[in-house]
Structure 1
């Protein structure tokens, strides 16, 4: 995979910018993951939906990354920084998903650390937020491992899978990166 240009890499995971050329594989993996992601996430499962998805990620207020197995380059998930606001706010909202069978193998945890370092480093953000449905134990565990703090509850926050879903609001500021999170 010498032609792949990673933004940054860790021991097992690497992140690279998502592109229009990734569409066929991304759509295939999204289709294969539909049941796995239900009801937490809706991904583009058609070429047309992917074109819309990538157009959103090409905006100045978004950054889209593929999570790859560093050794093979295989696509194992994605992490996006959405709704980036500059000025006095310097904040973005993170969304992510793993693709089975790589889910639960530690790639997303390592990749989230890489994305956070990129967000607080080169992107110059001060704060990132993640909104998670209360029943999504895997996602809650991921943000807790990285030291995000719970800031509140938002009823009927996002429309996913045909319904308005409640979400917990988790956030991290740049000074919290790499701070010990305690037991658990």
Structure 2
């Protein structure tokens, strides 16, 4: 239905879950296009509730109903360009940004710079150092988890990020420590240990 509505210029009535179990009021939605990015489908179009162009994860749409209304997509509109420009910060944004220096072996930094966020945020690269301009809000939410697979192969020269990495690792260690204790108390998994 969504793909057909986008192709035919048909307005839909959409119910949406914001991802935290929060249902928001049903809205009229003009789907301009659908984009697959990082394992999820997104519908981009005009949101009648916000009166602006927005993107919505398709898997969070809890109801779609056709209406008798129609729309015309803006000329030369790219759903993909819109989605990426709103996911990744740009220099013109009013977001609080921080420059972060990360050191490591050249091949490890090469791999880090291939990551969608770090590749976009890279401002300077040296053989064993990389400077990134990152949204401060991301430093305390997603960035620590993106860096965890690199374990001790990176040196982070940012107090707020290093602090958040330590907190995230401590929380994870407590979680798995409690899980291990419970398993040992029940006597499970002894043959695997």
Q: TM-score, normalised by structure 1?
A: 0.28
Q: Higher helix proportion, which one? A: 2
Q: TM-score, normalised by structure 2?
A: 0.27
Q: For the pair shown, which has the larger CA radius of gyration, 1 or 2?
A: 2
